[in-house]
Amino acid sequence: MKVARLPKDPGPAAWNRLLPDADPATPLEENITADWLIIGAGFAGLAAAHRLSKQAPGDRIVVLDAVRVGDGPAGRNSGFMIDLPHDLTSADYAGALESDKAQTQDNRLGIAHAREMAQEYGLSDEAFSVSGKINGAATAKGHAHNVSFAKHLTALGEPHEMLDVAQMRDITGSDYYQSGLFTPGCAMIQPAMFMRGIASGLRSNHVSIHEMSPVTSLERQTDWVATTPKGRVIAPRVILAVNGHLNSFGYLPRRLMHVFTYASMTRALSEQERSSLGGHAAWGLTPADPMGTTVRRISGIGGDRIIIRNRFTFDPSMEVSDKRINDVARDHDRAFAARFPNLSDVGMDFRWGGRLCVSRNNVQVISELDEGLYSACCQNGLGTAKGTLAGGLAVDLAMGRSSDSLSRALAADLPSRLPPAPLSSIGANFFLKWQERQAGGEL
Ligand X SMILES: Cc1cc2nc3c(=O)[nH]c(=O)nc-3n(C[C@H](O)[C@H](O)[C@H](O)COP(=O)(O)OP(=O)(O)OC[C@H]3O[C@@H](n4cnc5c(N)ncnc54)[C@H](O)[C@@H]3O)c2cc1C
Q: How far is the CB of 187 from ligand X (least distance, A)?
A: 10
Dihedral angle sign, alpha carbons of residues 309, 310, 312, 315: negative
Measured CA to CA, the distance from residue 27 to residue 214 in angstroms comes to: 9
Q: How far is the CB of 50 from ligand X (least distance, A)?
A: 13
Angle (CA) 366-199-239 rounded to 5° is 25
What one-character-per-residue DSSP string does 115-176 give?
HHHHHHTT--TTTEEE--EEEEE-SHHHHHHHHHHHHHHHHHT---EEE-HHHHHHHHS-S-
Is residue 70 at the binding interface for ligand X, with CB under 6 A as the rule?
Answer: no
Residues 364-403 touching ligand X, rule: CB under 6 A, are 379, 381-385, 387
The region of 22-30, 88-96, 235-243, 423-431 touching ligand X under the rule CB under 6 A is 235-243
Q: How far is the CB of 210 from ligand X (least distance, A)?
A: 9
Residues 107/84, Cβ–Cβ less than 8 Å: yes
Q: Is 9 helix (H, G, I), strand (E, B) or coil?
A: coil
Is residue 142 at the binding interface for ligand X, with CB under 6 A as the rule?
Answer: no
The count of chain residues that interact with ligand X, using the rule CB under 6 A, is: 40
CB atoms within 10 A of CB 437: 10
Backbone angles phi, psi at 134, to 5 degrees: -120, 135
Integer CA distances (angstroms), 190 to 113, 268, 282, 290, 313, in order: 16, 16, 12, 22, 24
Measured CA to CA, the distance from residue 423 to residue 283 in angstroms comes to: 40
Is residue 354 at the binding interface for ligand X, with CB under 6 A as the rule?
Answer: yes
The region of 62-70, 120-128, 129-137, 334-342 touching ligand X under the rule CB under 6 A is 62-70
Is residue 214 at the binding interface for ligand X, with CB under 6 A as the rule?
Answer: yes
Is residue 263 at the binding interface for ligand X, with CB under 6 A as the rule?
Answer: yes
Q: Which has the closest alpha carbon to 19: 278, 186, 200, 272?
A: 200
Residues 155-194 touching ligand X, rule: CB under 6 A, are none
Is residue 10 at the binding interface for ligand X, with CB under 6 A as the rule?
Answer: no
- Of 74 and 288, the one with the shorter C-beta distance to ligand X is 74
Q: How far is the CB of 184 from ligand X (least distance, A)?
A: 17
Residues 284-343 touching ligand X, rule: CB under 6 A, are 309
Among 1, 6, 97, 155, binds ligand X (CB under 6 A): 6
Among 356, 389, 397, 418, binds ligand X (CB under 6 A): 356
Among 13, 65, 186, 364, binds ligand X (CB under 6 A): 65
- Of 50 and 245, the one with the shorter C-beta distance to ligand X is 245
Q: Are strands 294-300 and 365-370 parallel, antiparallel or unpaired?
A: unpaired
Q: How far is the CB of 81 from ligand X (least distance, A)?
A: 6
Is residue 243 at the binding interface for ligand X, with CB under 6 A as the rule?
Answer: yes
Q: Is 409 helix (H, G, I), strand (E, B) or coil?
A: helix
Q: How far is the CB of 233 from ligand X (least distance, A)?
A: 11
In terms of Cβ atoms closer than 10 Å to its own Cβ (0-12, 13-18, 19+), residue 228 is buried
**Amino acid making up residue 164:** D
Q: How far is the CB of 299 from ligand X (least distance, A)?
A: 18
Residues binding ligand X (CB under 6 A): 3, 6-7, 39-45, 64-67, 72-74, 76-80, 214-215, 241-243, 245, 261, 263, 309, 354, 356, 379, 381-385, 387
